[in-house]
Amino acid sequence: MTTMAERLAEDRRATVLRILEAAEGNALNEDILTRELMRLRMGVVTQDDMRGLLTWLERQGLLTIERLTTEATHGALWLAHATRAGRDVARGATHPGVAQPL
């Protein structure tokens, strides 16, 4: 039986992939992704939450993470790039741990 927390995680993963699929160049930084999840009322998402989410998706081969270090970001800023597999999942292909569109 899937818990509510697990279903929310699956929904967040699917939503991130759909947002990236729709973005120009299929890439966005972690701050924009966090704001979009919050705007969609997907729960409070901290930087640690977002990085955990992105890391999970990267391990699945659904996106890649580019770690940018600049003076303007005062450290590292993550840029997520959807892979072909990630774009396929965003369009409805099945993947364990990622919610299917309704």
Q: What is the mean pLDDT of residues 51-79?
A: 89
**What is the CATH classification number for the domain harbouring 79?**
1.10.10.10
Whether residue 74 has pLDDT greater than 80: no
Query: Which token pair is 74?
Result: 């005062």
Q: Please determine, for residue 72, whether its predicted confidence score (pLDDT) is greater than 80.
A: no
Q: Confidence class of residue 1 from pLDDT cuts 50, 70 and 90?
A: confident
Whether pTM exceeds 0.95: no
What is the DSSP annotation of the chain?
---HHHHHHHHHHHHHHHHHHHSGGGEEEHHHHHHHHHHTT-----HHHHHHHHHHHHHTTSEEEEEEEETTTTEEEEEEEE-HHHHHHHTT---TTSPPP-
Say how many domains are in the chain.
Answer: 1
Question: Residue 72 domain-assigned?
Answer: yes
Answer yes or no: is 85 within a domain. Answer: yes
Residue 67 lies in a domain: yes
Residue 98 included in any domain: no
* In the chain, % of residues over pLDDT 70: 95
What mean pLDDT, rounded, does the chain reach?
92
The range of the structural domain enclosing residue 60 comes to: 4-90
Residue 68 lies in a domain: yes
What pLDDT does residue 102 have?
Answer: 76
Q: Tens digit of pLDDT for each residue in 20-34?
A: 999 999 999 999 999
Q: Among all chains, which residue has been given the structure tokens 């947002």?
A: 19
